[in-house]
Each structure stands twice: as C-alpha cells, then as structure tokens.
Amino acid sequence: METQQTTVIINGAGPTGLSLACQLLRYGIDFIILDKNEKTTHLSKAMVVHARTMEIFHEIGVAEKAVAQGQTTGQMNLMTNGKIRQQLQLTRFGEGLTQFPFFLILEQSKTETLLAEHLVSEGKQVQWNSEFIRLEESGDHVTVTYKDGNGAERQITGDYLVGCDGAKSIVRHQLGLAFEGDTEEELFFVADVKINSATLQPGNAYVNLTDGGFVIFFPMQGEHHYRVIGIVPDEFKSKEELAFDDFKTIIKIQAQFELGFEETFWFSTYRVHSRKANSFGRGRCYIAGDAAHIHTPAGGQGMNTGIQDAYNLAWKLAYVIKGKADPSLLETYSIERVANAEKLLKTTDRAFDLLTTEGIFGRFFRTYMIPFVAAIATKTSFTMRSVFPMISMLSIKYPHSPLTTKSHIGKIHAGDRMPYFLHKGVSIYEQLKNPGFKLLRFGNAAIPDDLFSDSVQLHIVGVPAFFEGETDFYIVLRPDNYISYIGRDLAGIRVV
C-alpha cells in the first residue's frame, strides 16, 4: 500500500480544519486535509461571522467575498412576552474598533464553501470521502490510517496531526484527552423558517424573554427568513417524535405576537453541551474547534472560536516546522487556547443559565431585571464600547501566556490584540497582513538593532489618542497580531 507523505495532516474539513488549511497555505506549509463527508455542509448552523474572524479572513483574502455574500444585522430588539422593550442599532456597532464593525450574517454552509474554494484557488483541495480510522505516533512522525470512498484502508505520514473533527472527535478519543463538562437538561429547538409577521422587520433580530424561557428570531438571508431558537416545553418533550407542526405551535405560544409560517427549511432539536478538553494536544497531535470545546450555540461563538484556534496554532506549527522556533512554542497553543475556552464556557454558561432558570426567580430575572439592566446599559457609551469587543471576540487576549512580556503603554497591554486605528488614512490591519513578527516603532523611538531585521518594521508618526499621550515606544507583534511586548526599551526582547 502506497503511503502519502505530507507535513501536517488535518482531520476534518469543517470551518476549523478549512481555516487551518488556509492559514498553513500563507506560511507555505504542506498539508493533507481529510473529511469523511463528500462535500462541505449544506446546513446553516453557525450564522454569524464575528469581527475578529473577519480580520482573519481579510488576511487570507476572503473577507470581501464574505461581505458580498452575507448581510449585516440591523437592529436588536429586546422583548418581554411579545412586547418590544429595548432597541439597539447594530449596523455599525463597533465603529472605530475594527475594519469590520458589524455582525455579518453568513450561513456556515457559505462560510465553509468560501474557505474550500479559497483552497482550490490556491491549488489545494480537501480529500473528501476519507474517513479517519486510527493514528500511530512514533518518534518524529504520525501515521494516519483512513478508509477511502471504496472502503479501502490507506495511510498518510506527516510531521504533525491536527484533529478538527468536531465534538465527537476520534482524534481526541485516540489521544485519550478527557472532554469534561456537562449537558443541559433542557431540550432546545432550532428552526430555519419563512415567517410572515408585522412585528418582525427585515434584517432585525428579536430576543423575546418569556415567563418560561426565551425565543429568539434571528434574521437570515432571504426575505422573511428567520432562525428561531427556543426551549421545547415539558409537555412536548414526552412526544416520541416532534413534527414541525408541533414547533409551529410552540413558537406561536412562546412568541406571543401574531405570526404565520410560510415555509420551513430546517428544524432540529438538541441538548446544549458545555465541555472542553484540559489539554489541546499530546506529542505531535493537536485538537482544535469543536473537537476541543463545545458550548451553547446561542452565543454564536462556536465556529468563530474554532477558526481562531486554527489561527493560533498555524503560525506556531509553521515556525517550528521551518526550524525558526523551538518545538516548545507549540505548548503555548494549548496554554492560550485552553484558557480562552475556559473563559468562554464560563460566560456562555452564565448567560445561558440566566435565560433558562425556572421558577419565580428566573421569570423575574428575565422579564424585569434583564430589560432594566439593558435600558441602563444601552444609555452608557462605556458599557456599549465593551459589549461589541466581547461578542465579536476583539477582546480576546493572552496576558498570562509565556509569549507575553508583561508591559503596557496607557491602557494597551502586552497580550492584547493589536488595537485598530487608521495609519495614513488606512486601517493599520492593511499593513499587518504579513504572516510574520512585526515591529512597530512609534514617534521618535530609536531605530532598533539587527535582532529585528527579519521582522516587518513600520514607523508610525501620528500616535493614536488611546496611547494616552505617550509618543515614543515600540510594539512587537506576533504573526497573529497579538502584542508580545509594548514599551520603550527593546533590550532583552526577542522574537521566537
């Protein structure tokens, strides 16, 4: 049997695996990407591409296509028991914080197609109909055995393996990495439907908090097309099989406003899992995306987090494979991304508990406290300035990473994502697309020595106001545009 050879084997061509492949292309690293399916998903699943993901898409050249194929969310309406209580304009919610200050609605099927087509345009493609069976790690390589479309067993040998194979990851199982956490008791439903209603306005989202829980109407592409998410009431749970007519009834009861159903595209029920692996790698094998962590889909964070796992891992693999960094660099992938997943699970769990708590307290919280707090928050620009970065993942940071040299200028700290600003009239991110370390020299800071000669260097004369009056300093940026050092003295500062 002929064995295929490559550098990185990627198992799974969902958004995480496809993103990893697109990133490895930027660094010129060879890979083979396998998937047991015959093509990308046709399901809408994750519907929002967040700003931080858009910045990453911009680097690989697919952000503009994503914008052209998607649509931005209009207004968010907070309702209680069918009545609108608060409205929040989302169209340019994150203005001044990123080149992509909106929530882009793009179905997961389209996001995956975009990434898969990008691979093809670069001369690579997914090896479909290839089901991973087992891995064997020995010394300096990993061998993967998979079953091809005819049922024949085949092998690939690579330097590294990354399991991007979803929540039931076979790679995670074979590595023996525990997947700890729990599963909510509640049964949720999701339906993609065409709805006729005078209450629902095109492009707007509606979060309706009810005595019994919530029902969310999220705009999808296409006229009157909505994703509806809610909790299956106890009286329906005992039914052997729920038909869509049951869902129509449930949605009407929960919405508490006039609506009619015109068409149903997809509906399903699911239980929310909240789990993560304690380590995202062992030896030459790593896991990323849903294979490493899963949480409630309501926060719209799952797919985006997987894409960002891949972004974090790709440059580290590339630097180690090219001999530019010690293999210990790869340990920082797990350190940084496990911490991120932990924080995310805590936040989504807390938010979800608030939405689903039963009894008088839950009802009081949903129908009185949340609208009350939202009314105050939407009037405070400080609160609003922190909401967009949190949801759109701009505020993800690595302050405790071994790659972060504790330092700060004003409110900007090492470990933060490079803050967005305009340099010579264009987004600073336009000048940070190069997949390598960068040195930004601000004001009159001295020209650095040869140690940084391999890094892209930028001189910034007009220093943005958020540096609070400081003018002469440096920022050392990692290839993923997180700050590894910010300060006035480069002595002792190294790039890996």
Ligand X SMILES: Cc1cc2nc3c(=O)[nH]c(=O)nc-3n(C[C@H](O)[C@H](O)[C@H](O)COP(=O)(O)OP(=O)(O)OC[C@H]3O[C@@H](n4cnc5c(N)ncnc54)[C@H](O)[C@@H]3O)c2cc1C
State which of residues 9, 10, 12, 98 lies at the interface with ligand X (CB under 6 A): 12
Instruction: Please identify, using beta-carbon distances, which residue of 213 and 297 lies nearer to ligand X.
Output: 297
d(CA 192, CA 266): 5
State which of residues 302, 362, 415, 435 lies at the interface with ligand X (CB under 6 A): 302
Asked if residue 297 binds ligand X (CB under 6 A), the reply is yes
Is 91 within 8 Å of 219 (Cβ atoms)? no
- State how far the alpha carbon of 20 is from the alpha carbons of 64, 124, 135, 214, in Å: 19, 13, 19, 35
C-alpha torsion 222→101→478→303, nearest 10: -30
Is 270 within 8 Å of 188 (Cβ atoms)? yes
Helices 51-60, 302-321: axis angle to 10 degrees equals: 40
* Nearest distance in Å: CB 114, ligand X: 14
Instruction: Please identify, using beta-carbon distances, which residue of 128 and 365 lies nearer to ligand X.
Output: 128
State which of residues 98, 204, 304, 407 lies at the interface with ligand X (CB under 6 A): 304
Asked if residue 175 binds ligand X (CB under 6 A), the reply is no
State which of residues 8, 23, 24, 35 lies at the interface with ligand X (CB under 6 A): 35
Number of Cβ within a 10 Å radius of residue 185 = 8
Asked if residue 192 binds ligand X (CB under 6 A), the reply is no
Residues 84-123 that bind ligand X (CB under 6 A): 108
Instruction: Write the burial class of residue 210 (CB in 10 Å: 0-12 exposed, 13-18 middle, 19+ buried).
Output: buried
From the list 28-36, 62-70, 234-242, 462-470, the region that binds ligand X by CB under 6 A is 28-36
d(CA 349, CA 368): 21
Q: Please name the amino acid found at residue 180.
A: E
From the list 9-17, 412-420, 457-465, 469-477, the region that binds ligand X by CB under 6 A is 9-17
Is 163 within 8 Å of 35 (Cβ atoms)? no
Asked if residue 313 binds ligand X (CB under 6 A), the reply is no
Asked if residue 219 binds ligand X (CB under 6 A), the reply is no
Asked if residue 34 binds ligand X (CB under 6 A), the reply is yes
Is 14 within 8 Å of 37 (Cβ atoms)? no
Residues 126-165 that bind ligand X (CB under 6 A): 131-132, 164-165
State which of residues 70, 74, 166, 230 lies at the interface with ligand X (CB under 6 A): 166
Q: Which residues, at least 6 apart from 50, have a Cβ–Cβ distance to it below 8 Å?
A: 103, 104, 300, 301, 304, 391, 392, 393
Q: Please name the amino acid found at residue 59.
A: E
Asked if residue 306 binds ligand X (CB under 6 A), the reply is yes
* Nearest distance in Å: CB 38, ligand X: 10
Asked if residue 415 binds ligand X (CB under 6 A), the reply is no
Asked if residue 226 binds ligand X (CB under 6 A), the reply is no
Asked if residue 230 binds ligand X (CB under 6 A), the reply is no
Provide the binding-site residues for ligand X, judged by CB under 6 A: 11-17, 34-37, 45-48, 108, 131-132, 164-166, 170, 190, 289-290, 297, 300-304, 306
